[in-house]
Amino acid sequence: MFQLQQQQHGPEEEHHFEQDSLPLILVPDESNQLGLPMQFPDIWLRDNCLCSECYLHQTRSRLPQLWQHLDTKRIRVYHLNIDQKQEILYIEWNDGHRSEYPFCWLRERDFSLANRSHYLQNFYRPEPRHWSGTEFALIQKEFLYQDLISNNDELQQWLYQLAVYGMALIKEAPLEFDVVRHLCNRVGFMRRTTYGEEFSVRAQPGASNYAYLAAPLPLHTDMPYFEYKPGVTLLHTLEQSDSPGGWNLLTDAYHVADILKQQYPEQFRILTETLVDWADIGNDNQLEFHNIWRSPVINVDADGRYVRINHSIPQRDSHFNVHPEQVRPWYEAMALFVRLAHEQAYEFKTKPGDVLTFNNLRLVHGRTGYADTEQNVRHIVGGFLDWDIVYSRWRILQRSQTADK
Ligand SMILES: [Zn+2]
């Protein structure tokens, strides 16, 4: 990679460039503890000029003028001046345009690997850490409902815990129907689905949805049949069954995917590549629906990171639009996934006032069966949040916390 040679001229440094000068601008920064200069591609600096012709401060966004006549081959720095005392980079471009960039703005956007990694992990999204069933006690974290409602640091910690470990338990919530809504409103707003906003889970003989029966509920993710699957599930226990059953099961399916990837690469490949039809047909509150989404069980992005797990036995469609030869190998791989998910499950029983919150793109959850009688009821109120809303709130809290220091 080409680099501009900087010459020391005291606090002010001046450089002139020819038509085909070099593409990476290095800006020495005395505050850098390793003594490394900040680095910026020249065309990026031109695109991100902060003058009123190029940038609208009130919306914090770029104006489109440059792109009406952008010639990517010809844009070059003509003259560069670094004022180390004022901490400002001045650039005159070969088309005569002039730009200036304060160091405080440049530092946050430095293209060095260290700065990019720091930004991605501490501001874009915290790095997830996968856990096995036996590690559950180590990663599990409890929050008090009232703290989340009244304290922003606690709120931030909750969202961080959800992002990194995918689950958190909230204790001592009032036994009221709107607890889930209050929590969602602290973050942003609830996600509405075809089943409305809040949903009640209690045994209903002849129920329209399998979750509304007292029979065991095998491990699953909620609503795999949506392209935009709800990101975070919140389950508030209002009443808990005194029967020996009704235990919650929770597994980090990203850990299950890790096991498959390492020990069963062929089954891993099948579960990441085979498109499965997920579906839900029915009606709720006079809305008739037929939802379908085709997607693998383990979804991986271009960098090989897991982005979503789909699994629900009742909500896997009988339509399976793959080549017939792919079918049995898929069943074999899926049976392995289900066995591992059960082996890695952690079992616990929520109490009235508990709100179980977890990443619905990542964890699979279930419940053991329970005996429901008139004296022995279980009543859960659930709701959803979307990850866009969760990460956004977390960043706002993260930014205000950094600003306080
Ligand atoms: Zn400009």
pLDDT at 209: 61
User: DSSP state, 209?
Assistant: S
Say whether both 176 and 82 belong to one domain.
Answer: no
Q: What is the CATH number of the domain that holds 386?
A: 3.60.130.10
Distance (Å) from CA 83 to ligand 1 centroid: 19
- Domain final position from 92, 124, 156: 124
pLDDT band at 5 (very low <50, low <70, confident <90, very high): very low
Q: 29 alpha carbon to ligand 1 midpoint, in Å?
A: 23
Q: Nearest 10 degrees: CA dihedral of 365, 371, 375, 379?
A: 20
Q: How do residues 356-368 score in pLDDT, each as one tens digit? A: 999 999 999 999 8
Place of tokens 């990460």: 391
Q: Are residues 120 and 140 in the same domain?
A: no
Asked if the structure places residue 281 within a domain, the reply is yes
Q: Are residues 115 and 193 in the same domain?
A: no
Of 124, 143, 160, which residue sits at a domain end? 124
Range of the domain at 203: 133-402
Q: How many angstroms is it from 49 CA to the middle of ligand 1?
A: 4
Which of 71, 98, 124 is the last residue in one of the domains?
Answer: 124
Stretch 129-133: mean pLDDT, rounded?
A: 97
The CATH number covering residue 85 comes to 3.30.2020.30
Using the mean position of ligand 1's atoms as its centre, give its distance from the Cα of residue 118 in Å. Answer: 28
Tell me the average pLDDT across 219-226.
98
Q: Is 115 helix (H, G, I), strand (E, B) or coil?
A: helix
Q: Find the helix or strand (DSSP H, E) in which 383 lies.
A: strand 379-385
Distance 347 CA to ligand 1 centre (A): 59
pLDDT in tens, 290-341: 999 999 999 999 999 999 999 999 999 999 999 999 999 999 999 999 999 9
Same domain, 43 and 171: no
Same domain, 173 and 277: yes
pLDDT digits (tens, 9 = 90+) for 56-105: 999 999 999 889 988 899 999 999 999 999 999 999 999 999 999 999 99
